[in-house]
Amino acid sequence: MDHLDAMRSIVGVSNVLTGADAQAYETDWRERYRGRTLAVLRPGSTDEVAAIVRHCAQAAIPVVPQGGNTGLCGGATPDDSGRAVVLSLQRMNRVRGIDTDNDTMEVEAGCVLQAVQQAARDAGRLFPLSLAAEGSCTIGGNLATNAGGTQVLRYGNMRDLTLGLEVVTAQGEVWRGLRGLRKDNTGYDLRDLFIGSEGTLGVITAATLKLYPLPVARCTALLALDSIEAATAMLGRARAGFGAALTGFELMAGNCLQMVTRRFPQQRLPFDGASAELPWFALLELSDSESEAHARERFESVLGEAIEAGCVADAVIAGSLAQSQALWHLRESIPLAEKEIGKSIKHDVSIPISRMAEFVEGTDAALDEAFPGIVHVIFGHLGDGNLHYNVARGADWSEDRLLSRQQDVYALVHDRVHAVGGSISAEHGIGQLKRDALPRYKDPVEMALMHRIKATLDPRGIMNPGKLLG
């Protein structure tokens, strides 16, 4: 029996894809990485995943786990050797159970994030992870990259939202660690080791996630600002005024929102005159557990004081759920509009909030000097210091010319990130994109420890080779 026949005996003939049927799985979402696969395997259970990995371990066949294939760093794309199998977990999409007394839900790795959010709402609870790709990204991918999104400052990343895991190891064993405990001090934290490991240590097949009470009321406002310093000052005011009720604080450069309204004319910026031309905007959200009136009163009080102090130039407060959704839609459409104008050089960086203005102003100037005519596309989660600092081509730049300077741009930006005490990856992971840059910025002892962990848990090196550590 050859390898493909063995795989068909495990998952069924219709769930082993080859040739043209496999092509969609061989290219990443940004279309920057293209590989070839021996086959795409679509298991329907944890036992099938374990059987596949056991066979691959014995035959030294590389395994590339893949969820919704929405990653931005090439972390779920095979290399061009054609030796690896892509392990698509999209069929494993069941919500196994919800425990409202314990405020937990158990879901399989192939569940689409939006479906998990809805299942939680149907049970009268909130699963707070929210990001632009939530209609297609999966929980497994979110766990593999320790995804963050727009509400990290209140609820944390996926590590903070996860209590237990089910994992198939690189030997094909199953670790059934789906405990719904908030306290479990019985040894090494294997859960946190696998979260963020990008499929290089094993395959996450299910998770026990934290749930929260649904907010009674939400208030959303779009703020027009003169500078990043003003945005940072407003964040401080919002934290002081709202406390834990502050669930969103997104920063967007003015040209990002103009790009959205040009590409998607049905969307509009709710400002007129000079306010619409300001260089920075912030999207602010308060989630209140008391009442709509209480939320509105707190919201208007803090914003009013900020406007009187000159911290905010102008503000639009959503008067309905539809208006709130329209404001968030502006923010969430930035990556889609950016993709429509062509490939860009993306940076997902984390910066101390106190040094955000220094980083942006200094890095903008350095890039303009080194690459005259490029366009800055800057937006992100100011509340947790995560900035998507992207570089797009200007009128004098072709796409090929910009991408030919990609490594030079990365080096300049990442060096400046490192200089202010930041990280070159906040929530997108390392994948292939930043693999070779990682040793430049990581402590050597930290890198050595990571390599030792990889060698111990995956001694044959079959799990997602070429990603994260190489």
Report pLDDT for 298. Answer: 86
User: How many folded domains does the chain comprise?
Assistant: 4
What is the residue-averaged pLDDT of the chain? 94
Range of the domain at 310: 217-335
Last residue of a domain, one of 335, 367, 383: 335
68 with 110, same domain? no
| Burial of residue 265 (number of CB atoms within 10 Å: 0-12, 13-18, 19+) | exposed
Q: What are phi and psi of 390, to 5 degrees?
A: -105, 155
Cα–Cα dist 382/42, whole Å = 38
Question: How many percent of the chain have pLDDT more than 90?
Answer: 85
pLDDT at 1 over 80: no
Residue 161: CATH number of its domain:
3.30.465.10
Q: Which residue has the higher pLDDT, 288 or 3?
A: 3
**Residue 141 CB partners (closer than 8 Å, separation 6+):** 66, 67, 68, 70, 71, 76, 147
Least confident interval from 34-43, 284-293, 391-400: 284-293
**pLDDT for the residue numbered 288:** 80
- Give tens-digit pLDDT for 236-261: 999 999 988 999 999 999 999 999 99
Query: Residue 390: which pLDDT band, with cuts at 50, 70 and 90?
Result: very high
Residue 291's domain is classified under what CATH number? 3.30.70.2190
If one compares 85 and 295, the residue with the highest pLDDT of the two is 85
Pairing of strands 63-66, 39-41: unpaired
pLDDT value at 66 more than 80: yes
Residues 368 and 405 in one domain: yes
Question: Are 348 and 322 within one domain?
Answer: no
The answer to whether 115 and 93 have CB atoms below 8 angstroms apart is yes
Is there a single domain that holds both residue 137 and residue 57?
no
The answer to whether residues 128 and 159 belong to one domain is yes
Reported confidence tier of residue 216, pLDDT bands at 50, 70, 90: confident
Query: Does 468 fall in a domain?
Result: no
Domain boundary among 281, 305, 335: 335
CATH number, position 363 = 3.30.70.2740
417-438 average pLDDT score: 94
Residue 458 located in a structural domain: no
The DSSP-derived string for 114-182 is HHHHHHHHHTTEE-----TTTTT-BHHHHHHTT---TTHHHH--HHHHEEEEEEEETTS-EEEE----S
Residue 456 domain-assigned (yes or no): no
184 and 106 within one domain? yes
Query: Mean pLDDT throughout 388-393?
Result: 94
Residue 304 lies in a domain: yes
- Is there a domain that residue 451 lies in? no
